[in-house]
Structure 1
């Protein structure tokens, strides 16, 4: 309890606190009272502030408090990780000698007091790791003459970063990362000439980097990761000669790399992944000799990898995955002896696997990803020398030859993926030496022989996928000793024999697919095998058990064997055969006859069943009624590559390709989502609950050959963007093609605009929703065009909305490439089924079809979203074409009348009208007059966040 004297002082202080910024007569008790008031505003569940006693005259002995030994004034308050909750009260304003205030990693909530930064002596302010929210008032930074370091990272602050930040000329470190800040970067941020570190990552900042960065002579670290910043990387960044770390990843930067980067000779980290950067990677990048990390992945870089990368002898991480790079890997990379992580996946690299990769100079290599390229040749046995390798992915190439036995020397290997190649030979028993192996993926190769029993020594194994090979022999019983197994796929091989009963003891199984082999006997009883789906075990005619609805025969007594050479004379006590010689004839001739008859009957039954099955499949395909539980049996019958009618299933991701789970229908009418020019789309759910969409193509007679089909689909499978529906895989037979893609839960934009219930379909879409849909669609198309993919079929039914984020995702892109020739009649009649989106050049055979056709369709789509009207509407005695209607209204000065009435005037005309004008520009009759989609994105972002002096869009 407070004594009466201190209670009166405290009450007086609290009543005057709103007026006190500096006490008129500071005393030793000012610090004590200020801290006690602070304590009163927070909760202290762990009792960390128990030593704060209001009866003491000074606070210097209190937990988390440090004082000046001469004046006994509080100069440092460090309460990091005290689990405090509550609000930041005004008591801290009394600590006039405070130099460091650190309240990081607590549970503080509420807004921030703008007067905290005005403490005259405050140098360091750290409020990171709390739940503070609201905006930072502009006056917060207006009187921060002494502040050197500020961190408000990992909170919930929102709104714009105050422009007044630029007035804190003494700031050397600013960390506002992982909040909800939006808007553009403060224009005056580069006036902080003393700034050494700037971290604004993990926000929603937009616009371009403001000019003036070349003046930041003291800048050491710049982190803008995970925002929405656009435009090019400013060339002035090369003037920041002291920069050690640059992270501009996961934004929307475009254009080429500035040549001035070569001047940053002290830079050791350059991370630009996840943008839209293009052009060739310049040779000059090899002059940044201090680089330890270079990540250029997930961009649109083209050309060859520069040989100058071999000069970066300090490089530890090199990642260029997910670009459009070509040619062989430069030999000079062999000099990167410090390399630990190397990513080259999802490009178009060619040639044999470079021998230098397997040299002993790469002893520090931990991860190597060469997947999804066009590498050929054999895997060298020297790979066993990478004793520290933990991750190796060479999948989806054209590698040949055997799996080297030296793989067994990779004691630290966690993941080995050699799938989707042409590897032959057997799985080496030496693989058991890789005792740390968690994932082994060898599917879709030409491997033969048995599964080695020695695999039991890979005790950490959780994933084993060996499907679609030519493996034979039994499933080794030793596999039951792999107690961590979760995913097993041995389907589409020639495995035989019975299943080891001990497999039922595998407690962590999620998937065990042994379909389409030659296994026989009874399924194991108990454990996972009590719930295994029929399609995971189907395609094994001699396998029995309840999941197959096929009972196993009971145990029969041993047959009586009669000796045909026995005589009528018998031993004493034996009974003479009552039928004599006739019994011998029954034993031999009758049994042979019965056996022959049984074979004939079984043959007749089998032929009848096969005929019925063929008819059933034919009828079910024409009626689109293949059930999910029978999908593998019906669609994937036979071993891959051995029958012209057998199917091939390819998945681009780690998604479990087992469609067997649940009782949903794969191509059942009840699961149909819609139909388009290419076919019907169905929804189904995988075993892990992950929903997917399956498109059954109905243009089979027009689809290319299998090789060309797979080449085009694999190209589409590499496309990844937040505004594009991801293609996850495909299934091929000559008569049936399925495309497996991401399921987007919110339905199509067309349904939201035109088919919702209640007679007011589009009322649920606010202006902000519509603008974001237009912008997101534009970004998706721009990304496609950067990858040289034309959509050909832009319309509102091909724009899907995510029900959680509201983000638009463009579907059905590039499917026209699956046709053997881009016939304009086919495109206009079969694909461009929605009248009104077609560019006029489709009617003219002399005009080349380019990305500008997509721009036209996008322009129509933008007008459709703003107006809520269909591209073409049929009245009783008239036909209204949307483009013509909006263009006429614009010419007559009444364009606002075109905005959807469902918005009820709750839209900003300064955005809606420019968007309609942009839509009309995109629908110009002359293709060259239409902007590129990248330009469209820039224009839309300027419409949403116009800069000063921005001219009105005309």
Structure 2
């Protein structure tokens, strides 16, 4: 008995020592790992090297009997730093999840040497560089890998094919290029492949049919081409297929009819063509089918009616020519269909009266077809509907009063039809309504008096109708309103006062001769006259007319109101794009899209390798410094605007350059036209213009490479932080003259800037002004004013009024207007539009009033005090006001402006050595 006790004590002692060694090894590894991290929120405070037991530490899980660390969960803890080698000591580690942190550096290839590791999730970080080939070549037990939402580049290593046990891998939302390794189709254990949102290209060769267990296949938003693989039907367990936004062509392969387990298929945004085969109706498990933006034609197959589990159906932007399918509005769809988009096709006939049976419908879009007849009254039975778009058809009759039954309605778009009758008063029952577009119809009657009860309204367009009566004064209480257009009707009476209506653009109320109020510059009967808007072109205003001497109130000028109106056109573009692209996606896709939309930084190493794109430098070294694998890293960002984000990096020859990543890829011209325009801009060389040094092109990424100007932009010098310096009068005059010389040279080259503002004027080391971002509008396919307005929305206050007037030609005089505002900004140190607590001060009006009253001191930056020559300041101020004239023909040419400035400059201060 004693012997047994001794043996038990000895063995127990050995076990404790062994366990103690285990703890020490795992503790050391975790502490070593923690040393490479920054933990701003002290989430890892419990990790102490004095603690022998890590099993109670935050994020750590251990085996219940061996007490070895098996899992590490540190997701979303704001950790930064790198993934170090400390984890290699954890020899029982099975799962590492570090997603949604701020980890940087490259992927540690040694992680796969942990022989027990089954799952690794590094998604949602800032990892860069390529995936090391060694990582996959030495994987043993790895089953799941996710590097999604990082800044990874390079190609997928061919060694991926050696991970025989791999069940799922996710490389989505990176910048990975090249082709999929052919060996991937032999990984028989694969269940999920997700490479969405990369730069992958080439054909998808047959072999995918070998993946019998494949459940999830996402190749969307890449550059894949060729045909959809014919053997895809052999993946009989597939539930999710996304080939969207690629270059696939040809017909749908017949083998797809075998995908009877599939719940979601998205083929949106390819070049697929032909008739949609009737076997599509055999995929009875489908919940989401998106064939939009392809070249499918013919009739919509009747067999779609068999898909009784379908929640989303998008056939928009194809060439279907068919009568509106009545079978879609039957009881077979009445329980589940939430999204129905048939827009931009050739559908004709009437909307079936049984529309109301689609009781679950949330989004309904049949715009841009040839639909006739009236809107069914049963639309009021759609209690869940949020968006209805029937615009650009041939609908007639009135808006049914039953619309008030659609109590969840948020967006109603009926523009460009032949609707008549009144706006039904019952519409006020749609209390969630944010957007109402009824423009370009024959709607008559008055605006319902209860209309202001729609307190969530943001965007209203009732223009080009036959509306009569007066506007309810309570409309001024709509606090969310950003756009309200009633132009070209027969409305009368006083415009509402207060709220949005204090700054409503004149273009939004024009064409109603009987409307009155200060905005339309017409006094209302029996109402004291409102302050009049001064004529900005009046010569005696500049000369100091007595009419301005007693002016006590600064009023928004017509030019500024129109500028605000032009900015409001941005909302139109946003609404239109939103209505075209709203889809009710699954929660996982929505979350991924949200993460993507918030990401600005990613890695990119432009080279001359055609697989990466085309890099062209107009002069000097065409290479970046070694290791410059994160040219577009967030840390290198130095500015951003309507056309793109700007980063700083170095060339091999030591020169710093600024790289602008264009954010207008969806609007950009073809490569040929893009290169022609950029090469034209690259030939421009002037002392007062930022030089374009080169460019980089791929279909989805365009970079412009500029000289780097070290001292920041004019806006920072005038308005912001430590760079907000007290520029002397002479410095300010030189900046104004330099801007004028640069713009004059551009106009000689027949180039309009389009986007003048103080953030686009840079100051070099010697204080010289350099105008940048010129000519970027030339890269767009057409100089569409709505597009331009959306891209230069931050230029509010600099925009010439003709941007809001389609009948006035855009010329160099638009630049002159913006230059005039810039002149006043430089002299006064004030922004073009300043928002006070209860007022809006417009710079041009403030200066005009002060100068007219002889208060010159208020027109000059207070930081200069009295240290400026009035004999120069007053003529320059007057020149700025003339340049900012509302009428284009009243503005001088830039060449004239340069000569005027040279004459104004005092001889003692003059720069006879003209650099321009």
Asked whether the two chains share a fold, i.e. TM above 0.5, the reply is yes
Report the CA distance between 1:188 and its aligned residue: 1.3
Cα pair distance change 1:722/1:356, threshold 3 Å = farther
Aligned to 2:730: none
Deviation, structure 1 residue 131: 1.2
2:259 is the counterpart of 1:330: no
Partners of 1:381 and 1:808 lie apart in 2 by: 47
Q: 1:500 aligns with which of 456, 461, 472?
A: 472
| SS state at 1:107 partner | coil
Find the counterpart in structure 2 of residue 654 from structure 1: 576
> Residues 156 and 181 of structure 2 are in contact (CA less than 8 Å); yes or no, is this contact kept in structure 1?
yes
> In the alignment, which residue of structure 1 is the partner of 2:126?
156
CA–CA separation in structure 1 for the residues paired with 2:434 and 2:91: 59
Whole-Å separation in 2 of the counterparts to 1:51 and 1:748: 59
- Structure 1 match to 2:809: none
Other structure's SS at 1:214 match: helix
Return the alpha-carbon distance in structure 1 between the equivalents of residues 754 and 255 of structure 2: 42
The secondary structure found in structure 2 opposite 1:153 is coil
Partner of residue 165, structure 1:
135
Relative to structure 1, the CA distance from residue 650 to residue 144 in structure 2 (aligned partners, 3 Å threshold; closer, same or farther) is closer
Q: Which residue of 2 aligns with 1:342?
A: 313
How far is 1:30 from its partner?
Answer: 4.7
C-alpha distance in structure 1 between counterparts of 2:783 and 2:208, whole Å: 38
Q: Look up the match of 1:260.
A: 231
Q: Is the 8 A contact 1:123 1:148 kept in 2?
A: yes
Residue of structure 2 in register with 1:848 after alignment: none
Partner Cα distance (1:115, 1:49) in 2: 15
- Whether 2:436 is the aligned partner of 1:464: answer yes
User: Which residue, out of 170, 194, 203, partners 1:232?
Assistant: 203
- Shift in Å, 1:538: 0.6
Task: Please name the residue that 1:126 is paired with.
Answer: 97
What whole-Å deviation, never above 9, does each CA across 1:223-274 have from its counterpart, x for those lacking one?
Answer: 0000000001121112101100100000000111111011111101001111
Cα deviation, residue 69, structure 1: 5.0
The CA distance in 2 between the partners of 1:205 and 1:226, in whole Å, is 9
Mark the CA change 1:384 to 1:284 in structure 2 (over 3 Å): closer, same or farther. Answer: same
With over 3 angstroms needed to count, the CA separation of the structure-2 counterparts of 1:61 and 1:230, relative to structure 1, is closer
Within a 5 Å distance, the mapping from 1:538-687 to structure 2 comes to 538-554=510-526, 654=576
> In the TM superposition, what is the alpha-carbon distance from 1:38 to its structure 2 partner?
6.1
Paired residue for 2:278, among 299, 307, 311?
307
Give the superposition deviation at 1:391.
Answer: 0.5
Question: In structure 2, do the counterparts of structure 1 residues 285 and 807 end up closer, same or farther at CA, with 3 Å as the change threshold?
Answer: farther
Of the candidates 739, 743, 752, which is equivalent to residue 681 of structure 2?
A: 752
Residue 76 of structure 2 corresponds to residue 112 of structure 1: no
Question: Are 2:446 and 2:470, in contact at CA under 8 Å, matched by a contact in 1?
Answer: yes
For 2:216 and 2:753, how far apart are their aligned partners in 1?
Answer: 39
Kindly indicate whether structure 1 or structure 2 has the higher relative contact order, using CA contacts under 8 Å at least 6 residues apart.
Answer: 2
Q: CA deviation at 1:161?
A: 0.3
CA distance in 1 between counterparts of 2:86 and 2:48 reads 26
Give the counterpart of 2:457 among 485, 491, 497: 485
* Structure 1 residue 129 displacement after superposition: 1.6
Unaligned runs of 5+ in 1: 1-22, 76-97, 557-625, 635-648, 658-688, 693-720, 728-740, 778-795, 816-954
Shift of 1:807: 11
Identify the match of residue 725 of structure 1 among 667, 681, 684. 667
| CA drift at 1:206 | 0.4
The CA distance in 1 between the partners of 2:97 and 2:687, in whole Å, is: 52
Distance 2:392 2:692 in 1: 48
1:122, distance to aligned residue in structure 2 (A)? 2.1
Deviation at 1:723, TM superposition (A): 3.8
CA-CA distance at 1:498 after TM superposition: 1.2
Q: 2:193 aligns with which of 207, 222, 243?
A: 222
Structure 1 stretch 54-63 or stretch 401-410: which is displaced more?
Answer: 54-63
Deviation at 1:291, TM superposition (A): 0.9
Aligned to 2:72: 101
1:532 aligns with 2:532: no
Instruction: Give the secondary-structure state (helix, strand or coil) at the position aligned to 1:425.
Output: coil
Query: Cα distance 1:427–1:385, how it changes in 2: closer, same or farther (>3 A)?
Result: same
What are the superposed Cα offsets for residues 417-473 of structure 1, whole Å, 9 maximum, x if unpaired? 111100000000000000010011111000000001111101000101100000001
Say if 1:70 and 1:244 are closer, same or farther in 2 by CA, change over 3 A.
closer
Distance 1:476 1:100, change over 3 A: same
- Structure 1 residues 54, 650: closer, same or farther in 2, change over 3 A? closer
1:452 pairs with 415, 419, 424, which one? Answer: 424
**SS of residue in 2 equivalent to 1:253:** strand
For this pair of structures, how many residues does the alignment match?
593
Residue equivalent to 2:907? none
What residue is the counterpart of 2:833 in the other structure? none
Paired with 1:474 and 1:172, the residues of 2 have a C-alpha distance of 67
CA contact (8 A) 1:273 1:296 kept: yes
CA contact 1:748–1:799 (8 Å) conserved in 2: no
In structure 1, the partner of 2:835 is none
Query: Hey, what's the Cα distance between the residues in 2 that align with 1:266 and 1:633?
Result: 54
CA–CA distance in structure 2, aligned partners of residues 27 and 252 of structure 1: 50
Aligned-pair distance for 1:752? 3.3
Aligned to 1:374: 346
Q: Return the alpha-carbon distance in structure 1 between the equivalents of residues 261 and 752 of structure 2.
A: 47
1:45-124 to 2 correspondences below 5 Å: 57-68=52-63, 70-71=65-66, 73=67, 75=68, 98-114=69-85, 116-117=87-88, 119-124=90-95
Is the contact made by 1:420 and 1:444 (CA closer than 8 Å) also made in structure 2? Answer: yes
Per-residue Cα deviation, 1:505-561 (whole angstroms, up to 9, x for no partner):
2111111110000111111222221111111111011111111011111179xxxxx
Instruction: Give the C-alpha shift of residue 287 in structure 1.
Output: 1.6
Instruction: Name the SS of the counterpart of 1:156 in structure 2.
Output: coil
- Deviation per CA, 1:289-344, whole angstroms, max 9, x where unpaired? 11100000011111111211100101000001111111110001010000001111
| TM superposition shift of 1:34 | 5.5
Mark the CA change 1:760 to 1:137 in structure 2 (over 3 Å): closer, same or farther: farther
Q: Deviation digits for residues 133-179 of structure 1, max 9, x if unmatched?
A: 111244443x3332211111111111110111222032111111111
1:26 is matched with 21
CA–CA distance in 2 between the matches of 1:633 and 1:532? 7
- 1:439 equivalent in alignment to 2:411: yes
Pair 53,146 (structure 1): closer, same or farther in 2 beyond 3 Å: closer
**Alpha carbons 1:723, 1:807 under 8 Å: kept:** no
Q: 2:388 aligns with which of 395, 403, 416?
A: 416
Cα distance change on mapping 1:213 and 1:31 into 2, 3 Å:
closer
Q: Secondary structure at the match of 1:310?
A: helix
Q: Normalising by the residue count of structure 1, what TM-score does the alignment of the two structures yield?
A: 0.57
Asked which structure has the greater CA Rg, the reply is 1
Work out whether residues 194 and 217 of structure 2, in 8 Å CA contact, stay in contact via their aligned partners in 1. Answer: yes
Aligned counterpart in structure 1 of residue 252 of structure 2, from 261, 281, 304 = 281
Where structure 2 has 5 or more consecutive residues not aligned to the other structure, the ranges are: 1-17, 529-557, 580-639, 644-662, 704-749, 761-771, 785-916
Name 1:136's counterpart in structure 2.
Answer: 107
- Judge conservation of contact 2:696–2:702 (CA < 8 Å) in 1: no
> Map of 1:28-43 to 2, 5 A cutoff?
28-32=23-27
- Tell me the CA shift for residue 724 of structure 1: 5.0
- Cα 1:113/1:28, change in 2 over 3 Å: closer
Superposition deviation, residue 489 in structure 1: 0.5
- Distance change in 2, residues 1:244/1:107 (3 Å): same
The aligned counterpart of 2:711 is none
- Counterparts of 2:564 and 2:60 in 1: how far apart (Å)? 69
CA contact (8 A) 1:395 1:417 kept: yes
The structural deviation recorded for 1:195 is: 0.8
- Which residue among 466, 469, 482 is the counterpart of 1:510? 482
CA distance in 2, matches of 1:376, 1:345: 14
Contact 1:270 1:294 in 2 (8 A): yes
